[in-house]
Structure 1
Amino acid sequence: MEKTHASFIEPIGEVKLHKSKWDMNKSLKKFQTMLESFFIKNGVLLLIVGFLLGRALILAKLTPFSLPFFASVYLIKKDRAPLALIGLIAGATTLSLSNAAFTFVITFSFLVIFRLSSKWISNEMRALPFYVGIILGLGKLAETFIFSKELTLYDAMMIGVQASLAFILTLIFLQSIPLLTFNKRRQLLKTEEIVCLIIMLASIMTGTIGWKVYDLSIEHIMSRYLVLIFSFIAGATVGSTVGVVTGLIFSLASVSSFYHMSLLAFSGVLGGLLKEGKKIGVSIGLFIATLLIGMYGEGSGSLKLTLMESAVAVLLFLLTPQILTSRLAKYIPGTPEHTAEQQKYMRKMRDVTAQRVSQFSNVFQALSKSFSQMDSEPFEDESQRELDFFMSYVTEKTCQTCFKKEQCWAKNFSKTYAYMEEIIHEMDQNNGNVSLRLGREWEKHCSRSKKVYETIGQELTFYQANQKLKKKVQESRRLVADQLMGVSEVMNNFAKEIQRERENYYKQEEQIMEAIQGFGIQIENVEIYSLEPGNIDIEISVPFCNGHGECEKLIAPMLSDILGETIVVKKEECAPYPNGFCHTVFRSSKAFTVETGVAHAAKDGGLISGDSHSTIELGFGKMALAISDGMGNGERAHYESTETLQLLQKILQSGIEETLAIKSVNSILSLRTTDEIFSTLDLAMIDLKNASAKFLKVGSTPSFIKRGKKIIKIQASNLPMGILQEFEVDVVSEQLKAGDLLIMMSDGVFEGPKHVENYDLWMKRKLLELETDDPQEVADLILEEVIRSKSDIIDDDMTVMVAKIKHNTPKWASIPIQKVKKRA
């Protein structure tokens, strides 16, 4: 009982724990939303940034940040420009009142000039940096003349430097301010945007120069904190970039901070290299850099102070919530968070695409059902209605003016109607003639019998033409319905394939690379696309091998042992120069291969044969062999048979099932022309994974399988293509084995031997007498034997196609690798 009670309490505890976590996450999200609303939506962040940039200095006296910041805010977020101006003036006031007055005057001048000239500006974004640089340069020039009464070369150079800085800072702020003002961002940060953001953050932090808390410099703490954040998020490359840029900005602001650039850059590199150790590893990197660079300071007191500043930066870094770093990492290329975000986006796009394809599949399926229902509707009422209309046309021209109309159609309606119906039926069936019995009875009943016969004959011509047209329309509907259903199935399968997410094989890729490199072969990169048994797909980049064949002789055999099945080189692109890389695709080897041989001859030794043959490579490890025989001989028969195979090949390669493909080809051929041009088709579909075969024969002669001393006959009964619109295709399945010979032939070969009563027995005997199993030799011998039996006369087109089923034996045996588990 206690055990039951305890097991009942545990789920309740888990539910409470999940509920408390959910409440905590909800509270944190609500708090985060409130902070974003306060700082970003209300513009408080721009006020704080403006205050710090208003008091930021370059070379201890230049203030180029105020006007570029205000101008960028004014252009990007005009409604928050007053807050930015208040912050700039407040920051400038902390330096001096004259500086605050200059900031206000120069900003007001910019507003007036920019507003007056805006009507002539076509691209404000491109013109803004020029406006800011020129206006700030003219303002500094006027300030120099007002206070100094003269312009020295040094003053002119400083004015030029400040104007140039204003121009560059405007370009930087235009890139980086949107990152601070828009809290909803979907695109990843470009490299230029990352650098601009770093410069802006470093410029903002220069506004804290001179601030100290217990002798600890605020700018040192914040700059190291910034390097820690970016090193932790993006690694050594971005971390060192942040350190160098931030240190450079600080060294421009204060020459005494020059050594600080080395400290920040070094800590960015070490922190990024140690990021695998999470926050602790990045923090250790900062402490190591502080100890090494701090030794160049001024004595032990300076080193102690520097270490304390680093300790405070580390404390702030450790207190930074994970949600903030994760959110920032989503927008920086190369981070795991960014990769996950991209995969999430790709999954969403994949699902949307699959859904659209599935919807199109449903549309095609609905259309197919609609056409099928139109054909399957009962036509009895329609036939009766057509018969009534037919009689009305006849009676209108014959009975309407007859004096016996009242007696025939009012008093004896049933008898007259039955006679007319029987006459129409007999004339339709007997080419306009009626039987003697019916003729005598009708002449007794009707006074205008000959006129009725003539009228019915005329109307029958139009009626029969109309019926043929309707039949063609129905056949066309059926063809469209079949095609739409086939397209629907293909699109539905395609939608399912899209939704199959590509698996991540990072672990397997590392294991394969480690195993191959441990064997002494250097490879650059391994990409696994599929590890499905029988459908393995791997791409490897290998250094230039100078044509020694390492991929085929070494790497493929090693992969065969690692993955537990035979792997072969499917495609290889060698490097064009010695220091490049060869890109090789490795695929699963099929269990069987097919070697083919073909022999053919045209009638009377001509150049154009009515027979056509084709070997079709299909996807999913399947192969098709086909022979088509056009009716008759010559160019027209050749055209018909070739067209049949081309249509079949395109439909099969699109993924439509083979039975439906043959029906579609038959429908196209029967509807394409009114001429009596037909063609046969002999199709064999072989699955190279297990050597199973399907035979589809449409009006073709039998095929034979030679297995040692045994001959297996493959036969099916179907009319040639194009005769009937709708027919069922007989599919014969047979399991082939290694060493089997498949012999397919046209009727010119099978029925060619003279003075032979039983073609089957003759062909089986000739096949058993063969002493070779080479496909080409077999095809040549059969064709030669048939021609010899006819006294060297070729009175019909002849085609023989022979295929030999063989086990697929690779050239190289697998090389055992003990360190990696099978199918890693």
Structure 2
Amino acid sequence: MLSDDYKNITSRNKLIQRANTFASLFKQLTNIFQEANRDVNVGEFVGYVYEDVCLHCPSRDLCFYQDGSVSRLGKLINKGFKSKYSDEDLKYIKSNCISPDKFLNGINEYKESYEKIKRVNQENSHLKKDLFYEFSLLSEVFDNFSNSLEETPFGDDQLKEHLLGYQFNITYLYKHQISLDVYTLEIGLMDISGNEVVNELVPIIENYLNESLEVISIQDSMHHLGYTSIVLKHQQNYSLQFGIQQYSLEPLNCGDSFSAFHQDNLHYLALSDGMGQGKMAATESKLTLEVLSKLILNGISLKDTIDSINALLKIKNRNDMFTTLDLCNINLANAKMKLIKYGANPSYHIRNGIVEKIATNSLPVGIVSKLKMSSYEMLLNNNDLIIMSSDGTGERFEQIINKNIKLFNRLHPQEISTLLMNQVLEENNLDDISIVVIKIVKAVEDLN
């Protein structure tokens, strides 16, 4: 039997949540491919010919402009980009234009560029229509899947049934919720050894719950009743404190975006810097982090997630836009950290007043088809700091960190990020700037 509290982590609820998030994600992607391509403005190319051929022509006001409107010669420039001239058109141009050869050569020169841009737009339009269709189907599939899950009843003894499928002879199973992040599982089993509990039972339960468990007790004193009593405990041994400060050249649109989210013991903090500044850069960096969080939270591997984001941006922007990605992944069970950087500014690890610079040579997301994934991994200690930033911090950011390092021990990460930002702005404010400070803190009950 499972307690009523266990309903929050049943397979049904997990699947429903994941299906709903996938449906939302694919709807978002579908909307991207509905965006219309920028139409080729033939008027721009008419203007180019006018500036080259007609602007300084002494007959401009008589032939290009006539009776307050564009004359037939002016309209023929427009026609030249869209279709071939008839013999009558050519005869009219040669009869009424002072420089008919210059007129025709000017149109032919710019028509090639006009046709090229038009072809690229048509290719993009077909590509987006194909992708729109595919994503629409997937979105509908996940919507239907989510609805079907909500209508399908699942019992409260899912974990017990799962373990019975592995041939464990279970007599009872209880969950005791101690706090939001801490609970114990009390399980009674027949015909099991301590070695089997540690090496077989616990890994299967951890994989099913996607959470780490600690063996609190294995009691064999119940053998005269025919079973062994086991108590497992889940808790996070570490917590995170973090602070962020941002500066934007445009008050309403910072090109840098920040996201913090967690999946069981893993806590993710991500910073993305869109190319340039303003609304477009903000849109690109925000999209990068939204897709990142949704894919990871639904069980997609980190490598596949980043490859998906890279492909999405590459298709969406046709290499005209890209974003950096600075991702910090910390396991709150064992304080193991992984840093992944794509085109991102160096990060800094601070322990006992010593600063370690962490930098990788990698391209931003959305430039090349295949990204090489490079990561930096280490075990953090209590009160270690990690500092992430965008490139707007300037070349002297490391010196600023070292200058203030003695103050960090008595400051919260938010205060540290504010201190660093104030000093960065004294030297540089020509770009969007983001500073993220992360602190790992060991659980109080384990400090002794």
Could you tell me the TM-score, scaled by structure 2's length? 0.51
- The Cα offsets for residues 696-715 of structure 1, whole Å up to 9 and x where unpaired, read as 11111011111012111111
User: Of 267, 270, 294, which aligns to 1:626?
Assistant: 270
Displacement of 1:676 = 1.5
Q: Partners of 1:598 and 1:765 in 2: how far apart?
A: 19
Match of 2:287 among 632, 640, 643: 643
Per-residue Cα deviation, 1:338-393 (whole angstroms, up to 9, x for no partner): x9xxxxxxxxxx9xxxxxxxxxxxxxxxxxxxxxxxxxxxxxxxxxxxxxxxxxxx
Structure 2 distance, partners of 1:747, 1:798, is 7
Return the index of the structure with the highest Cα Rg.
1
> Which of 532, 549, 568 is equivalent to 2:202?
532
| Shift of residue 595, structure 1, vs aligned partner | 1.6
Aligned 1:431-510 pairs, distance under 5 A: 501=164, 503=168, 505-506=170-171
- Contact 1:692/1:733 (<8 A) preserved: yes
- Picking from 610, 613, 616, the partner of 2:255 is 610
- What are the within-5 Å matches in structure 2 for residues 307-322 of structure 1? none
Letter in 1 for 2:245: A
Answer yes or no: is 1:690 the counterpart of 2:334: yes
Map 1:383-782 onto structure 2 (within 5 A): 501=164, 503=168, 505-506=170-171, 528=187, 532=202, 563=217, 588-603=234-249, 606-619=251-264, 621-674=265-318, 676-749=320-393, 751=394, 759-768=397-406, 770-782=408-420
Give CA-to-partner distance per residue, 1:561-586, whole Å, 9 cap, x none.
9549xxxxxxxxxxxxxxxxxxxxx9
SS at match of 2:202: coil
State the partner residue of 1:796: 431
**Residue identity matched to 2:263:** L
Distance 1:769 1:674 in 2: 46
Q: Partners in 1 of 2:214 and 2:409 — Cα distance?
A: 36
- Cα drift, residue 727 of structure 1: 2.2
Residue type of the alignment partner of 1:506: T
Q: Distance between the aligned counterparts of 1:646 and 1:675, measured in 2?
A: 20
CA distance in 2, matches of 1:764, 1:657: 36
Counterpart of 2:248 in structure 1: which amino acid? A
Contact 1:772 1:778 in 2 (8 A): no
Cα distance change, pair 527–611 in 1 and its aligned pair in 2 (3 A): same
For residue 640 of structure 1, give the secondary structure of its aligned residue in structure 2: helix
CA-CA distance at 1:691 after TM superposition: 1.3
How far off its partner does 1:763 sit?
3.5
Distance 1:718 1:500 in 2: 44
Higher relative contact order (CA 8 A, sep 6+): 2
Query: Are residues 771 and 681 of structure 1, via their aligned partners in 2, closer, same or farther at CA, if it must alter by over 3 Å?
Result: same
Select the structure that is richer in helix: 1
SS of structure 2 residue aligned to 1:686: strand
Query: In 2, Cα distance between the equivalents of 1:560 and 1:612?
Result: 37
Q: CA deviation at 1:617?
A: 0.7
- Which residue identity is paired with 1:772? R
Q: Which segments of 5 or more consecutive residues in structure 2 lack a partner in the other structure?
A: 2-10, 12-107, 139-158, 177-184, 189-196, 208-212, 219-231
Residues 636-668 of structure 1, C-alpha deviations (whole Å, 9 max, x = no match): 221111111000011111212212211210110
The one-letter code matched in structure 2 to 1:803 is I
C-alpha deviation, 1:588, in angstroms: 0.8
1:786 aligns with 2:424: yes
AA matched with 2:430: D
Q: How far apart are residue 596 of structure 1 and its match? A: 1.5
**Which amino acid in 2 is paired with 1:777?**
E
Is the contact between residue 255 and residue 285 of structure 2 (CA under 8 Å) also seen in structure 1?
Answer: yes
What is the rounded CA distance, in whole Å, between the counterparts of 1:720 and 1:601 in structure 2? 21
Q: 1:533 to 1:707 in 2, by over 3 A?
A: farther
In structure 1, the partner of 2:440 is: 805
CA 689–656 in structure 1, closer or farther in 2 if over 3 Å, else same: same
List structure 1 segments (4+ residues) > 2 angstroms apart after TM superposition: 497-510, 526-537, 559-564, 758-773, 809-813
Aligned-partner Cα distance in 2 for 1:714–1:671:
31
What is the CA distance between 1:748 and its match in structure 2?
1.6
Instruction: Give 1:327's aligned residue.
Output: none
Query: Whole-Å Cα distance in 2 between the matches of residues 500 and 534 of structure 1?
Result: 8
Distance 2:259 2:338 in 1: 16
Aligned AA for 2:278? G
Tell me by how many angstroms 1:532 deviates: 2.6
Question: 1:14-72 CA deviation, whole Å, 9 max, x = no partner?
Answer: xxxxxxxxxxxxxxxxxxxxxxxxxxxxxxxxxxxxxxxxxxxxxxxxxxxxxxxxxxx
* Runs of 5+ unmatched residues, structure 1: 1-338, 340-349, 351-453, 485-496, 513-525, 538-558, 565-585, 814-824
Alpha-carbon distance change, 507 to 654 in structure 1, aligned in 2, over 3 angstroms: closer
Residues 745/669 of structure 1: CA separation in 2 closer, same or farther (3 Å cut):
same
Contact 2:330 2:338 in 1 (8 A): yes
The Cα shift of 1:795 comes to 2.8
3-state SS, counterpart of residue 795 of structure 1: coil
Q: How does 1:175-214 map to 2 (within 5 A)?
A: none
**How far does residue 762 in structure 1 lie from its aligned partner after superposition?**
4.1
Q: How many residues align?
A: 281
State how far apart, in whole Å, the 1-side matches of 2:214 and 2:314 are. Answer: 50
AA aligned opposite 1:637: A
Q: Is the 8 A contact 2:214 2:233 kept in 1?
A: no
Assess, with a 3 A threshold, how the Cα gap between structure 1 residues 748 and 533 changes in structure 2: closer, same or farther: same
Instruction: Quote the offset at 1:812 in angstroms.
Output: 13
Partner Cα separation in structure 1 for residue 283 and residue 318 of structure 2: 16
Q: 1:667 to 1:560 in 2, by over 3 A?
A: closer
Q: 1:499 and 1:508, CA in 2 relative to 1: closer, same or farther beyond 3 A? A: closer
Q: Quick one: distance in 1 between partners of 2:420 and 2:334? A: 28
Shift of 1:764: 3.5
Residue pairs, 1:356-395, within 5 angstroms: none
Deviations 1:264-313 (A, max 9, x none): xxxxxxxxxxxxxxxxxxxxxxxxxxxxxxxxxxxxxxxxxxxxxxxxxx
Q: SS of the counterpart of 1:729?
A: coil
In the TM superposition, residue 734 of structure 1 has moved relative to its aligned partner by 2.0
Q: Which AA in structure 2 matches 1:631?
A: M
**Counterpart residue identity of residue 613, structure 1:** F
Taking the TM superposition and a 5 Å limit, the aligned residue runs for 1:31-110 are: none
Pick closer, same or farther for the CA change 1:673–1:509 going to 2, 3 Å: closer
1:737 alignment partner, SS class: coil
SS at match of 1:683: strand
- Aligned-partner SS, 1:506: strand
Mapped contact 2:238–2:441 kept (Cα < 8 A): yes
CA distances 1:656-697 after superposition (whole Å, capped 9, x unpaired): 221221121011011013372221110011112221111111
Aligned partners of 1:765, 1:659: CA distance in 2, in Å?
A: 37
Deviation at 1:788, TM superposition (A): 2.7
Gap change, CA 1:645 and 1:562, over 3 Å in 2 = closer
Q: TM-score, normalised by structure 1?
A: 0.29
Secondary structure of the residue aligned to 1:662 is helix
Q: Contact conserved, 1:648 with 1:662, CA < 8 A, in 2?
A: yes
Percent of aligned pairs sharing the same letter: 28
Q: Is the 8 A contact 1:628 1:642 kept in 2?
A: yes
Instruction: Find the aligned partners of 2:365 and 2:174 in 1 and give their Cα distance.
Output: 52
